Chains A and B, each alone.
Chain A
Amino acid sequence: QVQLVQSGAEVKKPGASVKVSCKASGYTFTSYYIHWVRQAPGQGLEWMGIIKPSGGSTGYAQKFQGRVTMTRDTSTSTVYMDLSSLRSEDTAVYYCARSLELNRNSGVDVWGQGTTVTVSS
């Protein structure tokens, strides 16, 4: 079955970086976009950016420009989200999610289980 499995929880100090992975299985990795979404405690969902696994092209929310990098490894069907210069406000659950079709304007249907990132001194 289609599945996205994310890496485990992370605890980081302010100023550090975190890299979250999202391993896809059960479908052709390069045929769908991957979105990254985060949710701070008690808050709503927030879109961070998108990556096209077939070519690696990306698009980021303005809020995260300069701090986020999304990459992929087609040999392992894994996408990565790297967030730098962490601050306490980055404490959140981070999700990857797959698009319904190979279209940048397509929403998502399959979600990873989420990765909790805690930023604390």
Chain B
Amino acid sequence: SYELTQPPSVSVSPGQTARITCSGDALPKRYPYWYQQKSGQAPVLVIYEDSKRPSGIPERFSGSSSGTMATLTISGAQVEDEADYYCYSTDNSGNLWVFGGGTKLTVL
């Protein structure tokens, strides 16, 4: 089965840059999608197709990909960015979707 690997936690001080990685063998062929989930809420899309940002998402959120790794970058992280972040993508066949294990971002 296919897996996407994320670090369990990332911690930064307010105003610093947070980087959350996601690695998977199919990422050179398949777009990653990034979701922010705050406690008790449904996930929110923050980056799609590597680096596109939906309307309403602050410019400090950006995405990039290189080879088998995708990165979500939050430039100048704010306290309100504290949340769990998940990458989401398909395997090489495009038939199966999978989430990364999630990364808890702490900003303090």
Q: Which residues of A contact B (CB under 8 A)?
A: 35, 37, 44-47, 50, 59, 61-62, 95, 97, 100, 104-105, 107-109, 111-114
Q: How far is the CA of A111 from the CA of B46 in the complex (A)?
A: 13
Q: How many inter-chain contacts with C-beta < 8 Å in the A-B complex?
A: 57
Contacts A44-B86, A59-B95: A113 and B101 contacting too (C-beta < 8 A)?
no
Q: How far is the CA of A46 from the CA of B30 in the complex (A)?
A: 18
Q: How many residues of B contact A (CB 8 A)?
A: 27
Is B48 a contact partner of A100 (Cβ separation < 8 A)? yes
**CB-based nearest A residue for B54:** A109
**B28-43 interface bits toward A, Cβ cutoff 8 Å, 1 = contact, 0 = none:** 0011010101000011
A59, A104, A107, A111, most chain B CB atoms within 10 A: A107
Is A61 a contact partner of B96 (Cβ separation < 8 A)? yes
**CB-based nearest B residue for A61:** B96
